[in-house]
Amino acid sequence: MELNVADLLAPVYDGLFWSVMRHRYTHYWLAGGRGSLKSSTISILAPLVQIMPENRNCHMVVMRKVGNTLRNSVYNQIIWGLEMLGVIRLYKITKSPLELTYLPTGQRILFFGTDDKTKIKSIKLPFGYVGIVWFEELDQFAGMEEIRSLNQSLLRGGERYWCFYSYNPPKSRDNWVNQEIMIEEADRMVLHTSYLQAPEEWLGRQFILEAEKLKAKNEVLYNHEYLGEVTGTGGSVFTNVEDMKMSDEMVAGFDRIYDGLDFGFTIDPLAYVKS
pLDDT at res. 209: 97
Query: HSE-up of 266 (CA within 13 Å, CB side)?
Result: 0
Is 137 one of the annotated active-site residues of the chain? Answer: yes
Per run of 10 residues, the mean pLDDT along the chain (length 275 residues) is 83 97 98 97 97 96 94 96 96 95 97 85 90 97 94 92 97 92 95 97 97 96 95 66 83 89 86 90
pLDDT at res. 243: 77
pLDDT at res. 60: 98
pLDDT at res. 178: 95
pLDDT at res. 25: 98
pLDDT at res. 2: 65
Is the backbone peptide bond immediately before 47 cis, with ω within 30 degrees of 0? no
Does the pTM surpass 0.85? The reply is: no
Q: Region of 76 please: left (phi>0), alpha (psi -120 to 50) or beta.
A: alpha
Contact at 8 Å (CB) between 20 and 45?
yes
pLDDT at res. 149: 93
pLDDT at res. 115: 84
User: Per-residue pLDDT tens for 160-218?
Assistant: 999 999 999 999 888 999 999 999 999 999 999 999 999 999 999 999 999 999 999 99
> How far apart (Å, rounded) are the C-alpha atoms in residues 141 and 139?
5
- Residues 2, 54, 83, 137: which is the catalytic one? 137
> How far apart (Å, rounded) are the C-alpha atoms in residues 133 and 161?
8
pLDDT at res. 238: 65
One-letter identity of residue 185: E
CATH 3.40.50.200 assigned to 5-225: no
Residue-wise burial string across 185-210, b where 16 or more C-beta atoms lie within 10 A, e elsewhere: eeebbbbbbbbeebeeeebeeebbeb
